[in-house]
Structure 1
Amino acid sequence: MVDLKKDVWAIADTLRGVYARNKAGDVILPMTILRRLECVMAPHRAEVAAIIAQQPNETLRVKMIKSVTGGVKFYNTTKHTLGSVYDSGDDMADNLLEYVRGFSKDIDVFTNFHLPQHIERMRKGGILATIVRQFRDLDLSPEAVPNSRMGELFEHLIYMDFESSNAESGDHYTPRDAINLLVDLLFAEDDNALSGEAIRSIYDPTVGTGGMLSVAEEHLHRMNPDAELLLYGQELRPESYAMCRSDMLAKGQNPQNIALGNTLTNDQFPDDRFNYILSNPPYGVDWKYIAEDVEGEHKKGFSGRFGAGLPPTSDGALLFVQHAIAKMTPPDSQDGGARAGIVLNGSPLFSGGAGSGSSDIRGWLLENDLIEAIVALPNDMFYNTGISTYLWIFDNAKRSERQGKVQLIDATALGSKMRKSLGSKRIQIDENARACVLQQYATMEISDTSKIFENLDFAYWQITIERPLRLNFVASPERVALVAEHKILGKINGLIGALNSFGGGIYLNREDFLTDLGKHLRSLGVTLTTTQRKALWQTLGERDENADICRFQSGKNKGEPEPDTGLRDTEVVPFGWGGYQKSHDAKDVTIKAYFNAEVKPYIEDAWVDYTKTKVGYEIPFTRHFYKYAPPRDLTDIDTDLNDSLQEILGLLKEVEA
């Protein structure tokens, strides 16, 4: 298979001169699909040709072809093959074009790749015959290249194409070792799929070339050969969609189950629900350009997909998570719920504070007991990024022993180095590592690398700590100068002169100051509105811990201390702090106890503004697996520095010599 990957991409050398290196995929990808489809059709060409000649009805034709071929749902109405096209000499371009256009309507891959235009370009460039011959000689039959291997080839070509064009390949290409682990975890808790002639459905809303679906199908068949897995997917990029759809056709799957379009704005399966969902949504995808559509659906509440909240427009990962949850078969259905596995970066674990959209979404997932497990993968696992990545497993009908709990598994140390890096991918998860993760998951192991938490262990209250406003006041030249520079106060006739003539020294009580200053201003005919009066004392005041507390003079808080916004602070109070009940009902008693123990002894005049309290949710994964490493001994550091210094001095002596 490794040689086949090299052989196919090596055809790019033939394209040089006619195509730039970063455009080679425009030809290699559709021609690879063409040869694969041809090899799949080859054993049944005569039988299929007879059916085409006898049956004009499209629906009946496909049904008959599927019957005689054992599941193939496509055909070609011409007699051409790449071999016959190559042998046709001057008619090669016309015959190849006729061949491409002779496929049944479900094969729309060549239109998406604009292959007819490339045929003409290759003809004019004088390389068409060589390209046709090279693909003719590739053996891409199912016997030589099973579906799983073909999926790997497709994805390798996608990777090579995007690497050569300096594009982001991570949107399209999820490494097979990560997919295998994700699929292992997804099926691990589903006994229904392992017995009898089960019919299950699986959906990938960011399907790419269909690699995740292929691995899932093979995995289920290994566990239960009698099971049938119906594959569904949606993809934004036409090229990836076309490859996935062609791959599904070659497997005998329904090509109509692969849809083209933006999953977040145009769900192509609005009424469908699935037993499994798999996805590797793009990291940090900006959704500003679709914000109007997404926000409109959010306003519908839970009658839409995004009722739990909206993450920042700079990162749409949690939109894909909400979409996946919305597509899960309900727990009260005949299948008894659904499971989902999603690859995410670290941001969805902790981004956004209490009251933010991201926090609210996490809270909705936790409060509804949807998160079953999160597995931290080693860094450098993916082709276009070396950042931390995580596998999230969701279940809307957990087993009783998992209900109300979340398992965190740290697999960051289980990766092994690859012999040869692929882009940013330098680490892989091998079978032994997968088995280790699965064992921890299946047994709900509690260890240094596997921990079990209650859902509300990740909930907290963010409380606002206020301190009283204490100001001194004086009409000094420096402070009066600030009043003169004020965009509103500086324009009031007579005010600056009145302030300059105001004596009285320093005031430590705001009301005394305002009373005396008010009398002085009125005596000089200067009147101020309430807003101007407030702006004036704010400009003339300066924080002073020895001053009297400023208090509200009206309203429902009359007589109460006025808070100093510059000293305002927040504290995080975890649910269950101090042994109090881990529930929303324990809010007041827990916060009061926390404040009395952790704040009041150190800031005597502080208080909690309960009207500003917010509930937040965060999953601090790395904190729970942090291991303290003591600093090196200073003597060892000095020794290393001295050794390095002596080595440098030795090199300098050699140069001088």
Structure 2
Amino acid sequence: MSTSNILQYESTIWATADLLRGSGIKESEWPSYMMPFFALVMIESRLVRMLDELKAEFGEEAWSGIEQQELIELIQDKGQGYNSYIFEQNQTLKDICQNDKSFDIDFEAYLHGFDSETRYLLGVDATEGEKYLDIKGVITKLKAKKVLLGYTKEWSSIDLKPFNNSEITTLEEHIKRRWADISAETAGEQYTPDDVIGLIAEIIAAKIEDSNRLLKIYDCSCGGGNLLFGVEDRIHERSERLTQTFGQDWNDPLYALAKIESRFRLDSKIEHGNTLTDDKFYNDEFDVVIANPPYGVSWKGYEKDIRNDKTQRFQHLPSISDGQLLFMQHLISKLNPNGMGVVVHNGSALFSGDAGSAESNIRKWMLDRDILEAVIQLPTDEFFNTGIYTYLWVLNQRKPVERKDRVMLINASEKFKPLKKSKGAKRKEIDPVSRLEIVETLAQFVDNDYARVFEKEFFYFNKQGIMLTNVDEQGKSFVSHLKEDKASLKLSPLKLENGERTLTEFTITAYDSERFGSLAAAYEQDIKPFVDSLDYKEQPLVVTTDKAMYWFDTDRETLIKEALGKREELGCGKIVVKTTLKKKTKTQPERIEITVELTPDYQKDYEIIPFHRDEVKNKAAIDTFMAKYITKPFEYLENVMGVELNFNKVFYKPEQLRDVAEILGEIAALDDELKELEDLIINL
């Protein structure tokens, strides 16, 4: 059978939701009603097919002589599940639905006829907290709506027996995509489009060597398994390499679907749980890691476990609002010495976080380890729940010598074909020709019009801290008026004016007790707010002492001192007014003290400067940058190295400006039209 044939069932399966709609069940709840019945149909079709394959294997004559117990043992040895109704009574879901009078009893017996693991995954005997596909809860709700039999009949008419595992997986992917479209709870987390899976598989297949050694493939956030199993199937199409798949997810129904799927594959292990806090494959390493982990999702709910993690997976902890780089670090820790991987991320993984932040340090750690081979920018409108750019990070533990310490950026944002009909937010697909072109570009590892190769240090940068000393028009700073060991000049003010209010008492021991009740209340409600509001640059703030007056001239950006009718420019500086509430002591009463100081105008700043791996050259580059761009006196502060991968910087194309003559021509034409309109109005 072909994929196109099985996809004809997509509309048939989706039509089962019509009965849900008619029963008043909200569209956002449909996936929870459809998942368990879809699982039933998948399981039954595969079990029946397995039975037919066994009959064909034995031959009609030999098969007729098999005892019931021997049959049971044969089927159980397959490890794909068991159902006593199917194998012992030769009854299917469709048969059960024929008799509406005994349906409830038969359906209950049918469900309990499954092996214990299948019942567990379906949620047949679910207790609170162990629901997985929660078919028990769904049945209860459908009974209350009086549509259980009708709904089950709809599903029982879907026969997937003629299709193989890969074809059924493809159908499952398309159905789960529809679920993702309507379910906000799981949006963007469980479905990777088929064309993206194809690209990921092509990248991996191009690097896989023919070998008798088992290829171990791992997805740490496998959801329903569409990415994991989709990649495995495509590898089998291109290689005879034996594979073993491993996946983990903590979404109950999606885990159950992946677990059920895994039983019908040659060698697959799917586990339930939070990968970041409970790695079920703690002692395993893998040849290939793949994932489309959730992004923009907080890890606050399990912050304590992450911070106390003892596995040494997490070199740095990113912002608690987005855990996608936790998954990246986990995946790298799972690679064997020759392993490789492809991981889907959004743009924030490329550039979020300043130099010195955890995000920047994670990127630096990856480049320092030389594990990153390439980053591929995919088109917008490629995923079903978002229109943003997404990126494939290609990891390689065994980069060829010519790729050591080098990283390729591939701008594949234009490598697509528009869909004839949108699927949710998905309006584009990376067609097979584009996929092969991208893979070939990665294989060549040379620059072309949409890809560039860089030494890894290209992505590093210096965030150089400096302390600037601001100066006035004459290039002078108040620092020249300070004694060598002094940071400021303290004044003894007699009066402080800001054009609205005047203070003449600078040690206040009593202050309108009737109005404020206490000195502390006066401090909090009046004096402190007033002093905090003073701005020597925004207000005409004048400080008067017994010898001079001081203020800041905003036009000349300098402090002015006026004494005996003479004005002196002191250089650029600040007037700092502070207020303090002092507690009562043995010698002094409770009081408010107001102080005034003149200080130089210092300003902390940061400059972003390209990085050089050679320490001497890096220092020289910083000095050259400062000499060229910084004109004020400054002192070096800390230098922090940052890392970001900026596609816009590399592939920026300035907008083509229109010809001036063309624009002027359009303006002239508009003027002529306006004149004609004016003439019409005047002549009315």
TM-score by length of 1: 0.79
| Deviation at residue 52 of structure 1 after TM alignment | 9.8
Q: How many pairs were matched up? A: 570
The aligned counterpart of 1:74 is: 81
Asked if 1:96 corresponds to 2:107, the answer is yes
Contact 1:467–1:568 (8 Å) recurs in 2: yes
The aligned counterpart of 1:419 is: 420
1:622 to 644, 648, 652: 648
Judged with a 3 Å threshold, the aligned counterparts in structure 2 of structure 1 residues 156 and 190 are, in CA distance, closer, same or farther, namely: closer
Counterpart code for 2:28 = N
Asked if 1:113 corresponds to 2:151, the answer is no
* CA-to-aligned-CA distance 1:69-94 (integer Å, 9 cap, x gap): xx552211333411221134322122
Q: Distance in 2 between matches of 1:590 and 1:148?
A: 56
Q: Distance in 2 between matches of 1:77 and 1:596?
A: 84
Q: Distance in 2 between matches of 1:18 and 1:209?
A: 27
| Deviation at residue 101 of structure 1 after TM alignment | 2.4
The aligned counterpart of 1:211 is: 226
2:657 to 621, 628, 631: 631
| Deviation at residue 311 of structure 1 after TM alignment | 1.1
| Deviation at residue 417 of structure 1 after TM alignment | 0.6
| Deviation at residue 216 of structure 1 after TM alignment | 1.5
The aligned counterpart of 2:245 is: 231
1:608 to 620, 636, 639: 636
2:18 to 7, 10, 13: 13
Indicate the SS of the match to 2:452: strand
Q: Distance in 1 between matches of 2:461 and 2:369?
A: 16
| Deviation at residue 436 of structure 1 after TM alignment | 1.1
Between stretches 19-28 and 447-456, larger displacement belongs to 19-28
Larger fraction in strand: 2
Judged with a 3 Å threshold, the aligned counterparts in structure 2 of structure 1 residues 353 and 93 are, in CA distance, closer, same or farther, namely: same
Contact 2:243–2:267 (8 Å) recurs in 1: no
Judged with a 3 Å threshold, the aligned counterparts in structure 2 of structure 1 residues 542 and 8 are, in CA distance, closer, same or farther, namely: same
| Deviation at residue 627 of structure 1 after TM alignment | 1.6
Indicate the SS of the match to 2:353: coil
| Deviation at residue 219 of structure 1 after TM alignment | 1.9
Indicate the SS of the match to 1:438: helix
Indicate the SS of the match to 1:591: helix
* CA-to-aligned-CA distance 1:356-410 (integer Å, 9 cap, x gap): 1001100000000010010001111011111111100011121112111101111
1:155 to 173, 183, 203: 173
Counterpart code for 1:418 = L
Counterpart code for 2:42 = R
Counterpart code for 1:12 = A
1:280 to 277, 292, 307: 292
Contact 1:386–1:424 (8 Å) recurs in 2: yes
2:275 to 252, 263, 267: 263
* CA-to-aligned-CA distance 1:452-497 (integer Å, 9 cap, x gap): 1111111122111212374497645227749789869969xxxxxx
Between stretches 411-420 and 465-474, larger displacement belongs to 465-474
Contact 1:460–1:574 (8 Å) recurs in 2: yes
The aligned counterpart of 1:591 is: 622
Contact 2:202–2:436 (8 Å) recurs in 1: no
Indicate the SS of the match to 1:304: coil
Asked if 1:140 corresponds to 2:150, the answer is no
Q: Distance in 2 between matches of 1:52 and 1:125?
A: 43
Between stretches 372-381 and 476-485, larger displacement belongs to 476-485
Q: Distance in 2 between matches of 1:647 and 1:39?
A: 72
The aligned counterpart of 1:131 is: 151
Indicate the SS of the match to 1:573: strand
Indicate the SS of the match to 1:129: helix
Runs of at least 5 residues in structure 1 that lack an aligned partner in the other structure: 332-336, 492-498, 515-525, 545-563, 577-581
Bigger Rg, structure 1 or 2: 2
Q: How does 1:183-332 map to 2 (within 5 A)?
A: 183-191=201-209, 194-195=210-211, 197-225=212-240, 227-254=241-268, 257-297=269-309, 300=310, 303-306=311-314, 308-329=315-336, 331=337
* CA-to-aligned-CA distance 1:307-361 (integer Å, 9 cap, x gap): x2111111111111001101111x2xxxxx2111100111111111111100110
Judged with a 3 Å threshold, the aligned counterparts in structure 2 of structure 1 residues 585 and 648 are, in CA distance, closer, same or farther, namely: same
Q: Distance in 1 between matches of 2:588 and 2:626?
A: 44
1:65 to 57, 75, 92: 75
1:36 to 42, 50, 57: 42
Asked if 1:570 corresponds to 2:606, the answer is yes
Judged with a 3 Å threshold, the aligned counterparts in structure 2 of structure 1 residues 279 and 165 are, in CA distance, closer, same or farther, namely: closer
* CA-to-aligned-CA distance 1:545-581 (integer Å, 9 cap, x gap): xxxxxxxxxxxxxxxxxxx1xx2211122123xxxxx
Contact 2:180–2:188 (8 Å) recurs in 1: no
Counterpart code for 1:65 = I
Contact 1:159–1:169 (8 Å) recurs in 2: no
Contact 1:380–1:427 (8 Å) recurs in 2: yes
| Deviation at residue 28 of structure 1 after TM alignment | 2.0
The aligned counterpart of 1:435 is: 436
The aligned counterpart of 2:557 is: none
| Deviation at residue 638 of structure 1 after TM alignment | 5.2
Q: Distance in 2 between matches of 1:266 and 1:487?
A: 52
Q: How does 1:187-586 map to 2 (within 5 A)?
A: 187-191=205-209, 194-195=210-211, 197-225=212-240, 227-254=241-268, 257-297=269-309, 300=310, 303-306=311-314, 308-329=315-336, 331=337, 337-468=338-469, 470-471=477-478, 475=493, 477-478=496-497, 481=503, 502-506=546-550, 536-537=595-596, 540-541=597-598, 564=602, 567-576=603-612, 582-584=613-615, 586=617
Contact 2:221–2:292 (8 Å) recurs in 1: yes
Indicate the SS of the match to 2:286: coil
Q: Distance in 2 between matches of 1:325 and 1:153?
A: 31
Runs of at least 5 residues in structure 2 that lack an aligned partner in the other structure: 1-5, 56-62, 124-131, 471-476, 482-488, 509-521, 529-542, 551-560, 562-568, 576-586
| Deviation at residue 411 of structure 1 after TM alignment | 0.5
The aligned counterpart of 1:579 is: none
| Deviation at residue 293 of structure 1 after TM alignment | 1.4
Indicate the SS of the match to 1:380: coil
Contact 2:324–2:349 (8 Å) recurs in 1: yes
Q: Distance in 2 between matches of 1:127 and 1:645?
A: 70
Between stretches 469-478 and 308-317, larger displacement belongs to 469-478
Q: Distance in 2 between matches of 1:645 and 1:14?
A: 63
| Deviation at residue 2 of structure 1 after TM alignment | 3.8
Counterpart code for 2:100 = G
The aligned counterpart of 1:522 is: none
Contact 1:30–1:109 (8 Å) recurs in 2: no
| Deviation at residue 645 of structure 1 after TM alignment | 9.3
Judged with a 3 Å threshold, the aligned counterparts in structure 2 of structure 1 residues 166 and 363 are, in CA distance, closer, same or farther, namely: closer
Contact 1:35–1:136 (8 Å) recurs in 2: yes
Q: Distance in 2 between matches of 1:388 and 1:92?
A: 50
Judged with a 3 Å threshold, the aligned counterparts in structure 2 of structure 1 residues 501 and 363 are, in CA distance, closer, same or farther, namely: closer
TM-score by length of 2: 0.76
Contact 1:343–1:392 (8 Å) recurs in 2: yes
Contact 2:181–2:384 (8 Å) recurs in 1: no
Contact 1:408–1:451 (8 Å) recurs in 2: yes
Same amino acid, percent of matched pairs: 27
Contact 1:73–1:252 (8 Å) recurs in 2: no
Q: Distance in 2 between matches of 1:643 and 1:26?
A: 62
Judged with a 3 Å threshold, the aligned counterparts in structure 2 of structure 1 residues 152 and 442 are, in CA distance, closer, same or farther, namely: same
Q: Distance in 1 between matches of 2:197 and 2:234?
A: 11
Judged with a 3 Å threshold, the aligned counterparts in structure 2 of structure 1 residues 114 and 18 are, in CA distance, closer, same or farther, namely: farther
| Deviation at residue 636 of structure 1 after TM alignment | 3.2
Indicate the SS of the match to 2:428: strand
Indicate the SS of the match to 1:362: helix
Counterpart code for 1:249 = R
